[in-house]
Amino acid sequence: MKRLEGKRIVLAGSRKLEEMSKIITNLGGIPVLRPAQGTTFLDDSRLEDDLREFVTGKYDWLIFTTGLGIETLYKTAENLGIGQEFLTTIRQSKVAARGYKTVNVLKKMDVIPLVRDDDGSTAGLVRALKKEIPRNTKVALQLHGDPAPKLISFLDEMQADYKEILPYQHIPPKQEILEQLVDEVVSTKVDAVYFTSTPQGRFLFSFAREQGQLEKLLAAFEKEVVAVAVGKVTAASLRDEGLKRVVVPDLERMGSGIIALEKFYENEQPTV
């Protein structure tokens, strides 16, 4: 018998839906499409000014949280004719990075971060920064259209003069999709929800909180409904929302999350 036989698996993302649905179906499951992440767009209007200020060298520390975000900043800087100044600024500054993808992009730019997380999470980056960053320092903080409350709270605590640089902005999904998903989880009409990026969980839990359904949502995830995260960063964001049980694959690939869920059902014990 296939281990996902009859299981209704929610795909909360909007990418590779056909491919992911096929994997679930081949394992006997039933894919349920509930895109809980809206579209993203590049905020060019603000980014140009931010980048021109960035290359002046006014910041003591540069904190990068996503590889795609760095690549976008660099491409935009090149389009503005300040690509080399952008690279020079990074190479001459103190750099902190979250996640292996971010570190790999920096490596291609001949930059080795002075500080990096130990587990792919924002909390891990904060732990590392506590040992290095002084009070009252000037910081450029690259985010990817998604807030990082723990990191912001830490910078506030250190009385840092920081500037958030967001190459992308996330647009919330349609309210009716969130309403439907909250209902399906709370009433256990679905067996698992697969989160493939941090905004998906943030939008879902924020909506549940606004509707007074947060405790019921968390209770459902605690017992009947399994939360699956594509990788450590997404898993960390779900735990920040209050989830204790999260299935995470060893290999951060979209298909690997479904295989990890299959193994979870086979072992009948939580993978955290």
Residues 54-104 have pLDDT tens digits of: 999 999 999 999 898 899 999 999 999 999 999 999 999 999 999 888 999
The predicted structure's pLDDT at residue 199: 87
The predicted structure's pLDDT at residue 227: 98
Q: Please say whether the beta carbons of 12 and 193 come within 8 A.
A: yes
List the chain pLDDT tens, one digit each, 272 residues.
Answer: 577 999 999 999 988 899 999 999 999 999 999 999 877 777 677 889 999 999 999 999 999 998 988 999 999 999 999 999 999 999 999 999 998 889 999 999 999 999 999 887 788 899 999 999 999 999 999 987 666 778 999 999 999 999 999 887 777 888 999 999 999 999 999 999 999 988 899 899 999 999 999 999 999 999 999 999 998 878 988 998 999 999 999 888 889 999 999 999 988 644 44
The predicted structure's pLDDT at residue 270: 44
Task: For residues 28 and 8, give the distance between their C-alpha atoms in angstroms, rounded to a whole number.
Answer: 10
Q: Which domains does the chain carry?
A: 8-37+174-267 (3.40.50.10090), 40-169 (3.40.50.10090)
DSSP calls for the chain: --TTTT-EEEE-SSSSHHHHHHHHHHTT-EEEE---S--EEE-HHHHHHHHHHHTTT--SEEEE--HHHHHHHHHHHHHTT-HHHHHHHHHTSEEEE-SHHHHHHHHHTT---SEE-SSSSHHHHHHHHTTTPPTT-EEEEE--SS--HHHHHHHHHTT-EEEEE-SEEEPPPPHHHHHHHHHHHHTT-SSEEEE-SHHHHHHHHHHHHHTT-HHHHHHHHHHTSEEEESSHHHHHHHHHTT---EE--SS--HHHHHHHHHHHHHHTS---
The predicted structure's pLDDT at residue 14: 85
HEC per residue, 15-61: CCHHHHHHHHHHCCCEEEECCCCCCEEECHHHHHHHHHHHCCCCCCE
Q: Please say whether the beta carbons of 34 and 180 come within 8 A.
A: yes
Tokens 């909180």 -> residue:
209
> C-alpha angle with apex 191: 185 to 196, nearest 5 degrees?
80
The predicted structure's pLDDT at residue 272: 46
pTM for this prediction: 0.70
> C-alpha angle with apex 69: 49 to 110, nearest 5 degrees?
100
The predicted structure's pLDDT at residue 190: 98
